[in-house]
Structure 1
């Protein structure tokens, strides 16, 4: 609550002018959003079939009491049969890539003898199969790299352990020098 600055009296305002202006802007934005939502709802509901007895001029709203007043089709996931999978795998191994559109039509025709299938199903299967193949290849490369690094680490650990308990070399006998006359001093001097 604010108090007047002159006589320290209560002037009845709950919000400052700045807060009132922010509130006005928020209300205006809310009104625009509500209008857009109503338009969207009307356009969507006018495209969906209404149940018998529902007035189609009723603003495009659904009959809430009847759940069958509208139907939204759901996409069904394609589940290939085992025969379709065998054929697809065989074709993939032969070509190792996504076939051209003409070949996809031929494959679809062949696979339709073993169950429902569309060209899009065939195309997507090849795309997914190629992605799986690449992922497995990168995983095996990662595992090979990891194995190599573990081997290198094991060799380094073995060499460290052979250097004595302190972890440092006990002698320089195992270092090869260019000639018998040159020792470690030559390497340290850089010359």
Structure 2
């Protein structure tokens, strides 16, 4: 599975390829390779949990390669991959970026040690991210809502992070008062303000 985008910020299209390496009982291993327009290559591997004794649960490179989006303040697109084990469970996405000729994980703002972008499916909670700019600096608001009054309403927090000096800097935290499940899903769930290419 190969797609092209400007990944190193030089204005030329580079190629990102995801390939399946191994299948084990509990996980699959994929290889991500980037070949720049100048024919310089960088590679890394990542694993996706699965019940791999069942062929229906196995993922393909097309399943895990979400696409490209420009997220941080460094020129070049980032590569999003889906590490989720189930399509309707908690979703976990990783972001890879090309830095100094090497592929490395770009931690999601507020993600802690995992570095992953997390999204809870609406039956468990409503999580998401809203992308924008604060002046010329990228900004991400992380939404984390949990059910109240059964599952008819959700409340939680929205935390703002701004890209500054090579990292996400935490800003204000806003309380999200209880709103209906439908309104919460429409407003906060998933990725808002960016489109994967």
Shorter chain as denominator, the TM-score bin is under 0.3
Structure with bigger gyration radius: 1
Q: Quick check: which one's helix share is greater?
A: 1
Greater relative CO (CA pairs within 8 A, separation 6+): 2
Q: Quick check: which one's strand share is greater?
A: 2
